[in-house]
Amino acid sequence: MKKLILLLIVGSFILSIHGMHDVFPKLGDKISGIDFTGKNDPIVTEPYEVGNSSCLLDALLRRPEGVLIKLRNLREKLNDLAESKAFHQLEDEQRFVSWASYIRTCVQECPIFGLTECIEEQVEVKGQGTGEMSEIKTFPCIFNRITYPNRRKILEEKIARTLISCENGSKRPLEYVDFGAGDMYQPFVSLMRTLVRRPSMAINVHYIDSEYMPFVMYRAICGQNRDMERAGDMNVSRELSSVNVELELKYKLFTMLRTHFITYLSKTFPNAHLSFHCYASAKDYISYIRHRSLPYPDVISAADISDGLEDYRWLCNTVCAQQKSARHILLTRNEKDADKVVLIHNLD
């Protein structure tokens, strides 16, 4: 039974990106000349002037779409491993050893492995003739940075400028919330654009997404807080293991894929004071900070959250009722033209 549970959970974490090169042809030129290893990246303690070097830091700031392609290619190889016959024949512990070993290899190729971002969307296309069945086809998402690199860049630059403006005069760490953070690449790039200008900033980053429920449940059962940087050691209590094997496995997979970027940030910006936290919903986040008397956020951002717009609106209204100076930034579809996007600062 445990083996079946593990296979189902691993399957749920597989990113559906097969055929990406069919949807986005000629990707090679977008990743050429980039040193994805980060080994030649500078240590940033003063405001950094973005250059034309091949280092990962410059690529993240100048060509984040190229880095995203690399990350997705690595994740696709991880998918191939998880779907292989040899992987399925391994026992549970051996399977985790194999999975973890490959992830370590991927981290050596790119230290922010595990982060990614949606670039495709599935659309139901109706049949042309009488009696023809409709079918689901995959198209580039209008928010994808591979085809439209400037759309998310506008949001990221706005977030960076807003965080910096909020920092002026603040004597405490800034509280930054990204709603619908998903695989975290978007808020990561926003944070990079901020730190190269203010490499000594103190920011508490809060990620909200329903995908984080296994992390939230595990930490709650263990009586622990939501700190991501303390989750990467992969220690799992015997008590939890005996109570809920499925939750234990989901937690392990979550931390294996979503904590490596913290090490990269700590190395690149040693003077920055950063913390990272996860929540399963807006109400989960508000309940958590209220229960612990933590500060309300200074900045809230989101992108492409058509299914979660009402929750985002509730979050912004709840925060602004307590902290009127809070800023919120939303990148969403243009209601008048579905093929375009718009940046919204006022939800009224």
CA atoms within 13 A on the CB side of 182: 16
How far apart are alpha carbons 164 and 176 in whole angstroms?
A: 11
By the 10 Å C-beta count (0-12 exposed, 13-18 middle, 19+ buried), 214 is classed as buried
- Residue 254 belongs to what H/E stretch? helix 245-258
* Residue 113 per-residue DSSP state: B
Residue recorded with tokens 């209601």: 335
pLDDT at 45 over 90: yes
DSSP, residue by residue, 174-202: EEEEEET-TTBHHHHHHHHHHHTT-TT-E
For residue 278, the cross-strand partners are 207
| Among candidate residues 17, 20, 7, 21, the one with its CA nearest the CA of residue 82 | 7
Tell me the Cα Rg of the chain: 21
Beta-carbon contacts of 132 under 8 Å, excluding residues fewer than 6 positions away, are: 126
CA separation (Å) from 270 to 12, 97, 150, 289?
35, 31, 29, 27
By the 10 Å C-beta count (0-12 exposed, 13-18 middle, 19+ buried), 269 is classed as buried
Residue recorded with tokens 């619908």: 180
Residue recorded with tokens 């900045």: 299
How far apart are alpha carbons 281 and 200 in whole angstroms?
A: 30
Q: What is the pLDDT of residues 265-318, one digit of tens each?
A: 999 999 999 999 999 999 999 999 999 999 999 999 999 887 788 999 999 999
pLDDT at 113 over 60: yes
- What is the pLDDT at residue 137? 73
Question: What number is the average pLDDT over the span 123-143?
Answer: 69
Residue 170: Cβ within 10 Å count: 11
- Residue 121 belongs to what H/E stretch? strand 120-125
**Distance spanning both ends of the chain, measured CA to CA:** 51
- What is the pLDDT at residue 132? 64
Residue recorded with tokens 């250059």: 51
pTM for this model (two decimals): 0.87
pLDDT band at 257 (very low <50, low <70, confident <90, very high): confident
pLDDT at 115 over 50: yes
CA separation (Å) from 62 to 48, 56, 185, 215?
13, 10, 15, 32
Q: What is the pLDDT of residues 188-209, one digit of tens each?
A: 999 999 999 999 999 999 999 9
Residue 62: Cβ within 10 Å count: 16
